[in-house]
Structure 1
Amino acid sequence: MKITSVFTVLLFMVFSFVSKAQSKDALSNKKKEWIVASLLENKTEQTTILGNPTMVQSPYGNVVAFNGIDDALFLKEMPLKGLESFTVEMIFKPESNGVFEQRILQIGEITGDRMLLEIRVVDDNWYFDGFVASKGVKLALATEELLHPLEKWYHVAFVVTPNSLTTFVNGKQELHKDYTFNPIQEGQTSIGVRMNKVTWFKGAIYKIQISPEALKPNQFLRL
Structure 2
Amino acid sequence: MARRALITGAAVAGVAPLFAKSRSEVWTFDSLKRIGGLTPRVIGAPQLIDGPLGKAVLFDGVRDQLLIPRHPLAGTPRFTFEALFRPDGGAFEQRWLHLESGDGSAATAKYGQRMLFEIRTEGSEWWLDTFLLGPGYRAPLIDPSKRWPVGRWHHVAQSFDGRTYSAFVNGVEQANAELAFVPQAPGVASVGMRMNAVSPFMGAVRAAAFTRGQALSPRNYVLKIP
Normalized against structure 1, the TM-score is what? 0.82
The Cα offsets for residues 163-212 of structure 1, whole Å up to 9 and x where unpaired, read as: 22101111111211111100001321111111011001100010100011
Distance 1:121 1:45 in 2: 31
Partner of 1:59: 52
Partner of 2:217: 216
Q: Which has the larger radius of gyration?
A: 1
Unaligned runs of 5+ residues in structure 1 are: 1-27
In 2 relative to 1, CA 91–138 (structure 1 residues): closer, same or farther, beyond 3 Å? Answer: same
Asked if the contact 2:143–2:174 (Cα under 8 Å) also holds between the matched residues in 1, the reply is no
In 2 relative to 1, CA 196–173 (structure 1 residues): closer, same or farther, beyond 3 Å? Answer: same
What number of residue pairs does the alignment pair up? 194
Cα distance, 1:162 vs structure 2: 3.0
- Structure 2 residue corresponding to 1:106, chosen from 90, 95, 98: 98
How is 1:114-125 mapped onto 2 (pairs within 5 angstroms)?
114-125=114-125
Unaligned runs of 5+ residues in structure 2 are: 1-20, 102-108
Secondary structure in 2 aligned to 1:218?
A: helix
How is 1:1-223 mapped onto 2 (pairs within 5 angstroms)?
30-38=23-31, 40-42=32-34, 46-96=39-89, 98-109=90-101, 110-111=109-110, 112-212=112-212, 213-220=214-221, 221-223=223-225
The Cα offsets for residues 10-36 of structure 1, whole Å up to 9 and x where unpaired, read as: xxxxxxxxxxxxxxxxxx954211111
> Which of the pair is proportionally richer in helix?
1
Partner AA of 2:95 in structure 1: R
Distance 2:97 2:154 in 1: 15
Cα distance, 1:137 vs structure 2: 2.4
The Cα offsets for residues 126-152 of structure 1, whole Å up to 9 and x where unpaired, read as: 000110002142111001111111111
Partner AA of 1:158 in structure 2: Q
Secondary structure in 2 aligned to 1:151?
A: coil
Moved over 4 A (4+): none
The CA RMSD over aligned residues, in Å, is 1.7
Asked if the contact 1:89–1:155 (Cα under 8 Å) also holds between the matched residues in 2, the reply is yes
Partner AA of 1:214 in structure 2: A
Distance 1:114 1:133 in 2: 5
